[in-house]
Amino acid sequence: MNSINRVQTSGQIKKEFFLSIRIILIISFVLFILVRDYTISGFFETLLRTALYTFVLAFGQGVLNNFITAKWDWVTQTNKRVWAGIISTVLYTVPAIIFIHYILFVKVDGLPEERFFEQQFIWTHLFWILFSFTVSSFLHAREFMIEWKKSAKQETTKQEIVAKTETAKFESLKNQLDPHFLFNSLNVLTSLIGENPNQAEKFTTKLSKVYRYVLEQRNKDLVPIQEELKFARTYMQLLGMRFEDAIKFNIPDAVSNQELKIVPLSLQLLLENAVKHNVVSSSKPLVVSIYEENNHLIIENNINPKEAIGKSTKVGLQNIADRYGLITDRSVKIENNNTTFKVSLPLLYKMNNIMYTEDLENSNYVKAVERVEKLKEFYQNLASYCLVIPFLIFINLRFSPQFYWFWFPIFGWGIGLVFHFLEVNNYNVFLGKNWEDRKIKELMNKENKQKRLR
């Protein structure tokens, strides 16, 4: 994951570098025309000034943002990411502006160093610092919205996965509890009771094991291959008692790795599918083999197609393929050469972390949406502050420099901004962090205790 983040970060830095080059050339060309200093030295001076501001501020902030985002994710580590962005922006922007102005004013324009921090230049520094904060706030807000859209898209995909999983499980259950299989089994049992009571007892025991396994495994996503093979052996023995010598099977007693897993009841669907679509008689026996090969479990049977069965809908095969598709990128392989039918099931070690409890997902999703809305309002407030305050400073210094009234909106609005940020992060100055959640839990516990006493 870290290597992926590094690759993505380096790619983003390259993109921003070439974007900065284009911005420098465009702004330099526009300023060159507006200033009307049509000389080579004038062009290069404009290019230098533009490059300093663009590279040191825009490109530098972009690189810094990429580094911070790679370390703290916007969605899962929002608080850390916000604080890291604010602190790093302040620590980077102020020295960067001083550096740029020192190069331009002192080294390029020849301003005496002792005048660099005079009042008029301090206001120039302050104006550019606030302007840079505005640009930085815009970049942070833009990046946050991009990450949020990605997260929202992923959440939507997860919800679709949950829905598809439930649908697949429902279809799987319908196929697993095939009424024809149950009716045929009961008919066999009825005949055995009169002819061979001992065999009927064995048949009943195996039939109960089959359906107990079906009920136990139907809600699982993966099961150990050893359990599935044991079930398949019992299932085939049951079919053997039904078809006598017309069905033969070869199922291994051991597996190469006890940790290997497959989708539950996939073997039952495939074995029932083989019986359903082929002639099973003593003259044309059905031969089924199950074995491991190239990290797959192979289920193979000879083909003796029934004449009157009609065209197969392949619902069972599609069901298995869909269920595998929900938990792994490895696909189910199906081969049919008109003499042998073979299905290859991928052997897995564990399920990918894409399945979640639906209620928990919905709850977390709603909370995430509410939090994003609050963050959007905070960033809009912050962006407005960074845009309006520099304008008020300019108005104050331009028309009434004898009285610095701009400090009032700076501190008044700034304090409101701080409280807004604390509210977004669910922090109360007097009650501490997450006080709302703690109070809700307290009231819920109190209500539960009262219910138990009634």
| Angstrom distance (rounded) from CA 17 to CA 11 | 10
Walk along the chain (454 residues) and give the pLDDT tens digit of each residue: 444 444 445 555 566 666 656 665 666 566 556 655 556 666 677 777 777 777 777 777 777 877 887 788 777 787 788 888 888 888 888 888 888 888 888 887 788 888 888 777 888 888 888 878 877 777 777 777 777 777 777 766 666 666 666 666 655 544 554 565 666 677 777 777 777 778 778 888 888 888 788 777 766 778 899 999 998 998 888 888 888 778 899 999 888 888 889 988 888 888 888 888 888 888 889 999 999 998 999 999 999 888 765 555 566 688 788 878 877 888 899 999 989 999 999 998 764 433 433 443 444 555 666 666 777 777 777 777 777 778 778 777 777 777 777 787 788 888 888 877 777 776 655 555 555 566 656 666 665 555 444 4
- The upper half-sphere exposure of residue 87, i.e. CA atoms within 13 Å in the direction of its Cβ, equals 7
- DSSP string across 162-224: HHHHHHHHHHHHHHHT-HHHHHHHHHHHHHHHHH-HHHHHHHHHHHHHHHHHHHHHTT-S-EE
Q: How many of the other CB atoms lie within 10 Å of CB of 265? A: 26
Amino acid at 250: N
Q: What pLDDT, on a 0 to 100 scale, did the predictor assign at position 298? A: 95
| Angstrom distance (rounded) from CA 234 to CA 255 | 17
Cβ neighbors of 299 (< 8 A, separation 6 or more) are 267, 270, 271, 288, 289, 290, 342, 343, 345
| Angstrom distance (rounded) from CA 47 to CA 374 | 41
- The upper half-sphere exposure of residue 178, i.e. CA atoms within 13 Å in the direction of its Cβ, equals 18
Read off the DSSP letter of residue 331: P
C-alpha of 244 from chain center: 52
| Angstrom distance (rounded) from CA 161 to CA 23 | 43
| Angstrom distance (rounded) from CA 36 to CA 39 | 9
Q: How many of the other CB atoms lie within 10 Å of CB of 367? A: 10
Q: What count of residues does the chain have?
A: 454
3-state secondary structure of 270: helix
Copy the structure tokens of residue 70.
Answer: 């790679």
Closest of 290, 318, 437 to residue 370, by C-alpha: 437
**Angle at 297 (CA atoms; ends 295, 303), nearest 5 degrees:** 135
Domains recognised in the chain with CATH numbers: 2-152+366-404 (no CATH), 177-346 (3.30.565.10)
What sign has the CA pseudo-torsion 189, 190, 191, 194? positive
**Angle at 355 (CA atoms; ends 349, 356), nearest 5 degrees:** 135
C-alpha of 383 from chain center: 29
**pTM for this prediction:** 0.43
Q: How many of the other CB atoms lie within 10 Å of CB of 404? A: 12
Residues 91/129, Cβ–Cβ less than 8 Å: no
| Angstrom distance (rounded) from CA 405 to CA 395 | 10
- DSSP string across 276-313: HHB--SSSS-EEEEEEEETTEEEEEEE--B-SSS----
Angle between helices 60-71 and 2-35 (to 10 degrees): 160
Q: What pLDDT, on a 0 to 100 scale, did the predictor assign at position 287? A: 94
Cβ neighbors of 163 (< 8 A, separation 6 or more) are none
Cβ neighbors of 19 (< 8 A, separation 6 or more) are none
Q: What pLDDT, on a 0 to 100 scale, did the predictor assign at position 358? A: 40
Task: Name the maximum alpha-carbon separation found in the chain.
Answer: 116
Residue 68 φ/ψ, nearest 5 degrees: -70, -40
